[in-house]
């Protein structure tokens, strides 16, 4: 695919037809609207970062503590967090969008060479702080393995700093492990022109018309990233992460997921490199370097083909419990779509009900459970009970003729077309297995 290279100017979900966002949705989608879309869940992940400033672990952020008896005292800390908004499940091959939002935070008002940066200080300091801005920032996330990156964009309306004149927004590019722009890279980077703390020219992501207030604690708010990917195979999981593998998961590396320069009042720059580590000596990443959420990939619903090319069909397109099953010419309607769970349940997704033998009473065809081993089938509430589980041979799901039998686990009987009648409306039942053509099925 082409290299993703965006400078945002509107809040947008970037690709037409993206799962969970209707194609007629207006392009401008504010953050809280995205978070409230049906089927999405929000996960807040808090973690510590170990940031190399000079020869010390530099705490890049500031916080107030309600329990502190001295009002307006700020502590410089390494706590941070990220919010992920994503669907719980997607279907194989779906194109969908999830959002990663770095959490806003107050920043350390002192440069890494200043001893004040490492101790608690009152919010208002008569001497003023030494930091004027952060520059050359980059924020890296990994492209989840098993997915195909389709598009990525920053979400505007959220700016880097808390000044009303700030309007400088980063671009989003795809890079390789060396940080070079690469259409096959495994990392998505939010930066300006790929200028980072290693760059020798340009200040990149600096708010040129903004300087941190001299009598207060600056607050940094970061743009969110909408990442659009294509899901892989059914049964897999998609696990969004910050960049954390290889050298990027080690302390003080230019590959760290978040790096920047602190600019002081004299214009001097101090490089800061942050990794999701509890301490500089940690040998493994913390929660910030682990999956931020997990998205399950399920199979797409498919017809179940049987005798003479007809398919399993829920009578009258009903979504009710006890709805009966018949054979009908395929028309791709939702009452002809089925998925198979890992437990062997055969589910009609539109109703969310499971295929089972007739439970009790008379059904739409006027017959009831028979003592001779022949029993009609119906839809029932999925309970996980063994009576709703089927043994489905590989030949049923490989898409090839002639298929194979579908066997009910509790009885050992086979799903069949009643009496081998090849006609629309023929009921489906379970009966002793014969291997005849009316007991052969494939998806």
Do 208 and 322 have their domain in common? Answer: no
Q: Which helix (H) or strand (E) holds 395?
A: helix 394-397
Do 207 and 282 have their domain in common? Answer: yes
pLDDT tens for the 443 residues of the chain, in order? 344 444 432 222 222 222 222 222 222 333 454 555 557 999 999 999 999 997 789 999 877 666 666 666 667 789 999 999 999 999 999 999 999 999 988 888 788 988 888 876 555 443 556 777 788 889 999 999 999 999 998 886 444 444 444 456 678 899 999 999 999 999 999 988 888 888 876 666 554 333 455 555 667 778 899 999 999 998 899 999 999 999 999 999 999 999 998 888 888 889 999 999 999 999 999 999 999 999 999 889 999 999 999 999 999 999 999 999 999 999 999 999 999 988 999 999 999 999 999 874 333 444 445 556 789 999 999 998 888 999 998 899 877 778 999 999 989 999 999 999 999 999 999 999 999 999 999 98
Could you say which of 243, 264, 298 is where a domain stops? 298
Quickly list DSSP for 290-303. S-S--EEEEPPPB-
Q: Which helix (H) or strand (E) holds 33?
A: helix 31-35
CATH number of domain containing 406? 2.80.10.50
Could you say which of 250, 268, 298 is where a domain stops? 298
Q: Work out how many domains the chain is built from and give that number.
A: 2
| 426, burial (CB in 10 Å: exposed 0-12, middle 13-18, buried 19+) | buried
Do 107 and 200 have their domain in common? Answer: yes
**Residue 158: what pLDDT?**
42
Q: Are 411 and 364 in contact (CB under 8 A)?
A: no
Do 194 and 169 have their domain in common? Answer: yes
Do 213 and 116 have their domain in common? Answer: yes
Do 82 and 179 have their domain in common? Answer: yes
Do 414 and 278 have their domain in common? Answer: no
Do 142 and 254 have their domain in common? Answer: yes
Structure tokens at 224: 């969110």
Domain residues for the domain of 170 are 5-298
Do 144 and 252 have their domain in common? Answer: yes
Could you say which of 298, 328, 363 is where a domain stops? 298
Which pairs from 120-125 meet CB under 8 Å and 24+ separation? 120/73, 120/74, 120/75, 120/76, 121/73, 121/74, 121/76, 122/70, 122/72, 122/73, 122/74, 123/64, 123/72, 123/73, 123/74, 123/216, 123/217, 124/72, 124/215, 124/216, 125/215
**Residue 329: what pLDDT?**
97
Please give the order of strands across the beta sheet that includes 428-431: 339-340, 346-348, 353-357, 375-381, 428-431, 414-417, 406-408, 390-392
**Residue 42: what pLDDT?**
94
pTM for this prediction: 0.77
Q: Are 12 and 29 in contact (CB under 8 A)?
A: yes
Among candidates 314, 311, 285, 290, which has minimal Cα distance to 240?
290
Structure tokens at 47: 């973690």
Do 269 and 350 have their domain in common? Answer: no
Do 105 and 254 have their domain in common? Answer: yes
Do 329 and 261 have their domain in common? Answer: no
């Amino acid at each position: 695919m082409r290299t993703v290279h965006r400078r945002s100017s509107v809040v947008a979900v970037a690709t037409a037809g993206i799962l969970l966002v209707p194609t007629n949705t207006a392009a401008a989608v504010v953050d809280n609207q995205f978070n409230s879309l049906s089927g999405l869940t929000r996960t807040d992940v808090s973690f510590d970062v170990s940031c190399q400033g000079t020869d010390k672990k530099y705490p890049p952020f500031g916080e107030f503590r309600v329990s502190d008896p001295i009002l307006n005292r700020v502590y410089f800390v390494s706590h941070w967090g990220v919010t992920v908004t994503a669907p719980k499940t997607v279907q194989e091959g779906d194109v969908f969008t999830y959002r990663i939002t770095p959490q806003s935070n107050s920043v350390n008002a002192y440069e890494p060479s200043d001893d004040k940066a490492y101790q608690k200080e009152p919010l208002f300091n008569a001497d003023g702080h030494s930091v004027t801005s952060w520059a050359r920032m980059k924020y890296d996330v990994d492209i989840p393995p098993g997915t195909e990156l389709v598009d990525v964009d920053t979400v505007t309306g959220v700016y880097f700093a808390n000044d009303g004149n700030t309007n400088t927004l980063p671009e989003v590019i795809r890079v390789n492990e060396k940080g070079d722009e690469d259409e096959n890279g495994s990392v998505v980077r939010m930066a300006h022109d790929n200028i980072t703390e290693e760059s020798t020219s340009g200040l990149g992501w600096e708010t040129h018309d903004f300087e941190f207030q001299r009598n207060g604690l600056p607050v940094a708010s970061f743009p969110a990233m909408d990442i659009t990917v294509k899901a892989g195979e059914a049964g897999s999981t998609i696990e969004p992460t910050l960049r954390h593998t290889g050298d990027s998961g080690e302390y003080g590396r230019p590959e760290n997921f978040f790096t920047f320069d602190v600019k002081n009042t004299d214009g001097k720059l101090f490089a800061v490199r942050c990794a999701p580590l509890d301490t500089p000596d940690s040998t493994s990443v913390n929660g910030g370097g682990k999956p931020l959420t997990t998205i399950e990939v399920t199979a797409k619903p498919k017809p179940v083909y049987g005798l003479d090319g007809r398919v399993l069909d829920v009578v009258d397109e009903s979504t009710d419990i006890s709805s009966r099953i018949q054979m009908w010419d395929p028309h791709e309607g939702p009452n002809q779509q089925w998925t198979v769970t890992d437990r062997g349940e055969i589910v009609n997704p539109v109703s969310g009900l499971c295929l089972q033998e007739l439970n009790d009473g008379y059904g739409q065809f006027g017959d009831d459970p028979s003592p001779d081993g022949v029993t009609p089938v119906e839809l029932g509430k999925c309970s996980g009970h063994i009576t709703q589980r089927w043994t489905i041979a590989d030949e049923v799901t490989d898409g090839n003729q002639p298929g194979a039998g579908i066997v009910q686990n509790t009885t050992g009987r086979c799903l069949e077309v009643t009496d081998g009648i090849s006609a629309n409306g023929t009921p489906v039942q379970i009966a002793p297995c014969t291997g005849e053509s009316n007991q052969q099925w494939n998806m």
